[in-house]
Structure 1
């Protein structure tokens, strides 16, 4: 099974989550809106519909959609 191309990494101790696409860092997200903007800039205009699709986005560590410090 192929892995999801987008990874939202565990929350950092200072808050926020690193977002990568196939290993390339897109940015540090503090909200779903940030993730959607990073994905839009990466060429995925329908990004808001991808956040809960495990074939597109893998949420690592912590709960999905939570960005507070670990």
Structure 2
């Protein structure tokens, strides 16, 4: 099973690092600044169908901040 991990916001920058973990490996696929960018990054690596699953705990792990939060609160 492939797990998508959205790391906490990058200090000093906007956006969150996106990591894809599967049984064979784990790799960073980029930094997303919005839900739309996250979906584009996933599509680039062949992962589709996440449009309705971003809030699904078994599909996406949002670290530190919750879903759809792309910047630390001021």
Contact 1:40 1:47 (8 Å CA) reproduced? no
For structure 2, the 5+ residue unaligned runs are none
**1:38-53 correspondence to structure 2 within 5 Å:** 38-53=41-56
- 2:44 is the alignment partner of 1:57: no
Counterpart of 2:16 in structure 1 is: 17
Higher helix share: 1
Higher relative contact order (CA 8 A, sep 6+): 1
- Scaled by the length of structure 1, the TM-score of the pair is 0.83
SS at match of 1:33: helix
Q: What is the CA RMSD across the aligned residues, in angstroms?
A: 1.8
For structure 1, the 5+ residue unaligned runs are none
SS at match of 2:51: helix
- Scaled by the length of structure 2, the TM-score of the pair is 0.79
Q: How many residues align?
A: 68
- Distance in structure 2 (CA, Å) of the matches to 1:68 and 1:17: 8
- 2:34 is the alignment partner of 1:35: no
